């Protein structure tokens, strides 16, 4: 089942994504620190550019469009500016987390997106610094001083990103992951770990996209809640599928080392539920995500990209 | 010469700092992640609490007071809220940089503030994550959603902190530092390295303190420039004195390994200029800092704490 089918027919995700990704890649290339001193910029660019599915940026842009697609004029311009910056910022956080996660003291991975990992290419010290600088740059992108994004939106985006990335989000989930190697987690514990480790930033991407709109008022609470629920469901689905692919795909397709979870005795959905139940669970989460979009009350024409992205997350092969 | 003398007579820095530090310590203890999962919170608190001179928070609070000391009512309350959050945020960035800097792939230090470093106590992986989470928490502190700090101030503080911490600030300086071990730097190159590595966050602390004031208008450009120059001068002075102390103080007094720079063949002001010229340079930077405060046009009564802190930076013995 291709993603455009689960999107409900006519929407062409590939075409939409191609346009968005072009904007994102250009912006990342312009904004990621070519001028950073002493090789730091090279390491940062290597970590970010020319790789990755850019799922998080696409979620930001799709959510912004879903909520603010009617905005006009200056309001629309500021929303588009904010959404592009938010899209790049979440990708920088994701990229930094991969750099640090791959380091010898963490997962000790030498291959990522089919290329040597950052510490293999640039050394551990520079990889550590590049990750640190990418996190700072994410917040710098969210706070331009040229009036192109309103201050309330800047503040909200920083708040949401900090929470998604920090101890109650991604970093907290990584700490649980680290502490759980070799332990027999319950399904609840595994879900909680992934809700933070991967889910928080995916959910954060959706919520940040919605927050790019200055005009959103209290009436939109149903929208905000629905989008957050959508983000939570696909965040979890993403990890379930990741666990499935770790056992069903090969390293060449994945662009990273397959079978790694089982080899390192990490608890996964597959080890806990078995392969078949994991695949059913992923489909159930997809249904949850689509139901959450319905609950927003937004017209279906506006949520097409989000629907299609949910399908892509669950039905991807890498 | 004690700091209160260089402050110009009657101002009691110790008493002022004691009051401020009490607020900062309480705030840090309340805000630093006791609830973070899987030991992450313990590592974060260990890295931040009960240690350090808190120079950066004091600079934030002194600069806020210098610019906004006349503010009244709700404006004053919001300034105080912002300044306390900014004070804690810069300290979190400083703390995370020490955690990462001490790791085996960087300086490989086992002693910090007289205690085992974070990776020695909690393991490398958790130290890496704790540093990452502390950086995110800094931006979270700057963006409360309770209306206690205005959105424009939140956005400005995030912008200033991100720049001070990132590739054009602290992380960039660390990258230069890393690349310069064993090289013969010129005085200009050394200054540029420290302007970023240590200076950016110290200068940023002063500028962030000033930015806590919503009422600051275009007329205040001289104030902003003077404070930034002050911050730049003491930022550099701090590093010159650090280099001096590395050769003149013992490990017990410093709370960290003395003589480390020479042993690791790092370029320092002392190795470049000699001890005596370095000490003269530190005093010249102190004079520059005080002159920059004069140039702000702020009444002397308002800049007492900043003057005294400059004296403390230059005349400290650890």
Residue B4 lies in a domain: no
Contact of B97 with B174, CB cutoff 8 Å: yes
Grouping H, G, I as helix, E, B as strand and the rest as coil, residue A64 is helix
Alpha-carbon distances of B32 from B35, B95, B171, rounded to whole Å: 9, 12, 22
User: DSSP character for B166?
Assistant: S
What rounded mean pLDDT belongs to chain B?
A: 90
Residue B160 forms part of a structural domain:
yes
Residues A62-113 have pLDDT tens digits of 999 999 878 889 999 999 999 999 999 999 999 999 999 999 999 999 998 8
If one compares A218 and A98, the residue with the highest pLDDT of the two is: A98
Return the number of CB contacts < 8 Å for A and B.
Answer: 190
Looking at CA atoms only, how far is residue B179 from chain A in angstroms?
6
Q: In the structure encoding, which two tokens stand for residue A226, read together?
A: 């629905």
Q: What's the rounded Cα separation, in Å, for the pair B64 and B224?
A: 11
Token couple for A72 = 């006009």
User: What Å distances lie between residue A60 and A24, A201, A246, B139, CA to CA?
Assistant: 11, 11, 26, 20
Q: b/e for A10-32, b at 16 or more Cβ within 10 A?
A: ebebeebbeebbebbbebbeebb
- Residues A82 and A212: their CA atoms lie apart, in Å, by 6
Residue A109 with chain B: CB contacts under 8 Å: none
Instruction: Please list every residue in chain B whose beta carbon sits closer than 8 Å to the beta carbon of residue A133.
Output: 166-167, 171-172, 175
- The 10s digit of each residue's pLDDT in A11-63 is 999 999 999 999 999 999 999 987 888 889 999 999 999 778 899 999 999 99
pLDDT digits (tens, 9 = 90+) for A275-284: 999 999 999 9
Q: Is B248 within a domain?
A: yes
Q: Chain B closest CA to A154's CA: distance in Å? A: 6
Q: What is the CA radius of gyration of chain B?
A: 19
Residue A165 structural domain: 3-315
* DSSP code, position B250: -
DSSP bridge pairs for A112? A115
Residues 6+ apart with CB under 8 A from B22: none
Which of A128, A137, A158 is opposite residue B103, by nearest beta carbon?
Answer: A128
Q: Provide the shortest C-alpha distance from residue B227 to chain A (in Å).
A: 19
CA-closest candidate to residue B203, choices B120, B298, B297, B93: B93
Which residues does chain A have within 8 Å of residue B131's beta carbon, measured at their own beta carbons? 132
User: Do residues B7 and B307 lie in contact, with contact meaning Cβ atoms separated by under 8 Å?
Assistant: yes
pLDDT at residue A256 tops 70: no
The percent of residues in chain A predicted with pLDDT above 70, rounded, is 91
Residue B3 within a domain: no
Helices (H), chain A: 3-6, 13-31, 40-48, 55-68, 73-101, 118-122, 124-141, 151-165, 170-179, 187-194, 200-211, 221-248, 251-254, 260-263, 269-273, 275-295, 304-315
pLDDT of B4 higher than 50 = no
B214 lies in some domain: yes
Contacts A33 to B, Cβ<8 Å: 167
* Residue B19: how many other CB atoms lie within 10 Å: 10
Chain A neighbors of B172, CB-CB under 8 A: 36-38, 40, 133
Q: How does pLDDT run across B53-69, given as a tens digit for each residue? A: 899 999 999 999 999 87
Q: Which pair of structure tokens corresponds to residue B93?
A: 């960035």
Distance of CA B56 to the CA centre of its chain: 3
| CATH at A91 | 1.10.600.10
A105 contacts in B (CB within 8 Å)? 103, 123-125, 128
Q: How many structural domains does chain B have? A: 1
Pairing of strands B115-116, B111-112: antiparallel
Q: Reply yes or no on whether the pLDDT at B8 is more than 80.
A: no
The 8-class DSSP code of residue A219 comes to G
Quick one: pLDDT at residue A105? 95
Q: Hey, are the CB atoms on A175 and B135 less than 8 Å from each other?
A: no
- B287 to chain A, closest Cα gap in Å: 30
Q: In whole angstroms, what is the distance from residue B172 CA to residue B61 CA?
A: 26
Closest partner CB to A155 (pick from B131, B154, B178): B154
Residue B147 contacts by C-beta under 8 Å, 6 or more apart in sequence? none
SS3 track for A69-82: CCCCHHHHHHHHHH
CA triple A186-A187-A189, angle to 5 deg: 65
* Nearest CA-CA partner of A162 in B109, B300, B141: B141
Which residue(s) pair with A116 in the sheet? A111
Backbone angles phi, psi at A292, to 5 degrees: -65, -35
For B93-135, the pLDDT digits (tens) are 999 999 999 999 999 999 988 899 999 999 999 999 999 999 9
Residue B7 predicted with pLDDT over 50: no
**Sorting pLDDT into bands at 50, 70 and 90, what band is A300?**
very high
pTM for this predicted structure: 0.94
CB contact under 8 A, A39 and B100: no
The answer to whether residue B277 sits within a structural domain is: yes
Contact B210, B216 (CB under 8 A): yes
ipTM of the complex model: 0.93
Interface test with B, best of A44, A166, A176, A185 (most B CBs within 10 A): A166
**Residues in Cβ contact with A277 at an 8 Å cutoff, skipping those fewer than 6 apart:** none
């Amino acid at each position: 089942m291709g993603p455009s089918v689960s999107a409900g027919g006519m929407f062409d995700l590939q075409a939409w994504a191609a346009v968005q990704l072009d904007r994102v890649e250009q912006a990342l290339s312009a904004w990621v620190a070519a001028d950073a001193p002493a090789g730091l910029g090279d390491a940062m660019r290597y970590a970010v550019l020319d790789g990755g599915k850019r799922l998080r940026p696409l979620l930001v842009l799709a959510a912004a469009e879903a909520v603010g697609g009617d905005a006009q004029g200056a309001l629309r311009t500021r929303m588009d500016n904010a959404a592009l910056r938010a899209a790049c910022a979440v990708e920088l956080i994701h990229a930094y987390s991969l750099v640090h996660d791959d380091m010898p003291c963490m997962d000790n991975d030498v291959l990522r997106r089919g290329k040597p990992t950052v510490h293999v290419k640039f050394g551990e010290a520079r990889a550590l610094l590049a990750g640190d600088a990418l996190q700072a740059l994410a917040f710098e992108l969210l706070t331009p001083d040229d009036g192109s994004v309103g201050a309330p939106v800047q503040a909200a985006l920083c708040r949401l990103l900090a929470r998604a990335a920090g101890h109650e989000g991604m970093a907290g989930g990584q700490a649980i992951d680290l502490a759980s190697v070799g332990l027999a987690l319950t399904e609840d514990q595994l879900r909680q770990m992934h809700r933070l480790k991967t889910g928080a930033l995916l959910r954060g991407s959706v919520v940040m996209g919605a927050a790019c709109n200055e005009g959103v008022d209290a009436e939109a609470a149903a929208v905000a809640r629905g989008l957050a629920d959508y983000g939570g469901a696909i965040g979890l689905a993403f990890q379930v599928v990741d666990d499935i692919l770790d056992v069903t795909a090969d390293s060449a397709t994945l662009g990273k080392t397959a079978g790694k979870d089982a080899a390192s005795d990490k608890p996964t959905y597959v080890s806990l539920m078995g392969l078949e139940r994991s695949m059913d669970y992923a489909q159930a989460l997809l249904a949850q995500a689509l139901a959450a979009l319905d609950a927003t009350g937004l017209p279906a024409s506006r949520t097409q990209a989000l629907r299609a992205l949910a399908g892509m997350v669950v039905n991807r092969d890498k």
